[in-house]
């Protein structure tokens, strides 16, 4: 990170994100989280205190700490329903 001069990290959580987020914290790199589920994961919950924002599809996240509600940024889903519908139609044709 230091060599590449990275100034922001976006993490989706999970055990693979732990070393990257720890390094980002130590190097004072801004951390942004993405929570694609309706229950916050352990890794995202752990790094929530160190993050600038957490991007979610809803503000009704289970087990979300109330003191960090101001960090939630609602975004539109990255994959839209019409994609799933077209995929279902392709399965019916096959």
Q: Residues 11-31: pLDDT tens digits?
A: 998 889 999 999 999 999 999
How many Å apart are CA 73 and CA 57, to the nearest integer? Answer: 8
pTM for the full model? 0.79
Please report the pLDDT score of residue 17 as a whole number.
92
Spatial contact of 52 and 41, defined as CB atoms under 8 Å apart: no
Q: Residues 79-91: pLDDT tens digits?
A: 766 666 665 555 5
Domains and CATH numbers, the chain: 8-93 (3.40.50.2000)
Q: Percent of the chain, pLDDT > 90?
A: 63
Task: Specify the higher pLDDT residue, 93 or 21.
Answer: 21
**CA-based nearest residue to 45, from 36, 54, 7, 78:** 54
Q: How many residues does the chain have?
A: 94
């Amino acid at each position: 990170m230091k060599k590449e001069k990275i100034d922001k990290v976006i993490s989706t959580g999970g055990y693979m994100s732990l070393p990257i987020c720890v390094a980002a914290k130590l190097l004072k790199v801004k951390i942004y989280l993405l929570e694609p589920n309706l229950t916050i994961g352990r890794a995202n919950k752990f790094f929530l205190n160190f993050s600038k924002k957490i991007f979610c599809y809803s503000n009704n996240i289970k087990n979300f700490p109330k003191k960090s509600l101001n960090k939630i940024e609602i975004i539109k889903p990255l994959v839209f329903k019409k994609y799933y519908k077209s995929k279902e139609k392709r399965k019916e044709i096959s």
